Amino acid sequence: MCEAFYLFFQKESISEKNLIAVLSGIVIVIGIYVYDEYFFTFSHLKGTFQEGPVKSPNGTYSANVYYEPWGGAAGGVTIWVKVTTNTSKKVTKTVYYARANDDFTMKWKTDHTLKVTNKSLDYPKIDNYSVTLDVRNEIYDGYGLACKSVLMKNDYKKCLSN
């Protein structure tokens, strides 16, 4: 065994081309990780319309639910809620993003407070992504990516995550 280490270190040093290739690969992998972790946005969401619009009590906001299946037969469903401001300047933003469960409902508590219930009927204490949001300045991301994103810091004052 010692001979194997001796022979390994006796070889000539790594070529310049191989060193550049290895270092480039490391930089690319680190770059992809940093991009995925800190430059997340909801712009990639291309799901199917599910429910809505659910209007707030004074009609200031409308909430729509969208979903997207992932992972094939053994996968699941991601669900998100987009809220639109019903004023002359219509603004739409995603305020809720999580894995979907059996029991999903949303209801306006006040004109700007939306209660989202998203829990499992079998495991309500474990798989519970329910939250009450002030849609003016709060968002919920069940995966936590929006809370770490430098691109989304101006979109909310408070980011909630599971």
- CB of 102 within 8 A of CB of 88? no
Read off the DSSP letter of residue 156: -
Instruction: Please write the tens of the pLDDT for every residue from 7-25.
Output: 455 556 667 888 888 889 9
At residue 134, does pLDDT exceed 90?
yes
Instruction: Please write the tens of the pLDDT for every residue from 91-119.
Output: 888 899 998 888 899 999 999 999 999 98
Cα separation, 78 vs 51, whole angstroms: 14
| pLDDT in the model for residue 42 | 79
Cα separation, 117 vs 98, whole angstroms: 11
Q: How confident is residue 74, by pLDDT bands cut at 50, 70 and 90?
A: confident
